[in-house]
A = this chain, B = another copy of it.
């Protein structure tokens, strides 16, 4: 069933049918006749013909590093809900943590029928810059601030700073740092800077031997912490750039016979569900992942309507959530 047949059935022209589906001028008679024919046949206009003709698809592409991470899942959740509300569909490109694939998918989207692209970024290589520059499509970058682009991101510096300050306040004199690559500006560089700022404010000199690098995983956090502890070191505090790393680190501490929250204080960032149920619940900073997804989607919708000029950067706040992992013998004071 196509528009021509439907038009014949309703006794009107193709144009009338098109107007019926696009809120154009139409008399009540014709509208009713078309409605009847549509009802009877179950006709629906071909999305593909429409796409070709209008050069729009009502599809938004999203490039993400992985799905099996609570933060990413929450962001995508927020996006999909907001977009669905407005009749847009979500085309998902999962790069499995491969920056080269990010560039590849970005480029694919460029010529393949999406109206805009949401990009959950980690690092920016020259290739990223180049493909982003040539997009000729609305782009919103999520989780990173990037000059000259529309972005929605978190206050990574502030969150890290506040959490590290709390860690120090609770008694850690030399918190070590387990973070991720600084090539990830938000989760790597900014959080490290936040940690350093807190140290500085407390008059603690940062030491190179206190800095460790991990991947974005519990396993990696576990391994790093285990190596540190096996070397014989007994830090009084561990600042982790993500909750996953922190949960892994707590596991290692436990296995080394240390009681988290008493022998060693541990913090994360992200306030994941996991950190709330660990043997010793984890102190962290809540980041508004789902909200960032919603905000990014809304920003995209604005761009698609050509509303607003220039680029917009939206930074979302954080809240420190203190739990037992930083309560070194202070239970009575901090109830």
Contacts and interface: CB of A to CB of B under 8 A. Distances in A.
B81 A77 contact: no
B52 A80 contact: no
A90 B148 CA distance: 29
Nearest to A74: B68
Interface string A37-57: 000000010111101100101
B73 A67 contact: yes
* Chain copies in the assembled complex: 2
Interface in A90-146: 90-94, 96, 111-113
A278 interface: yes
A273 B57 contact: no
A36 interface: no
A47 B111 contact: yes
Interface of A: 44, 46-49, 51-52, 55, 57, 59, 66-70, 73-74, 76-77, 80-81, 84, 89-94, 96, 111-113, 218, 247, 250-251, 273-274, 277-280, 290
Contacts of A59: 91
Contacts of A279: 277-280
Contacts of A51: 48, 51-52, 113
A94 B84 contact: yes
Contacts of A57: 48
A69 B90 CA distance: 18
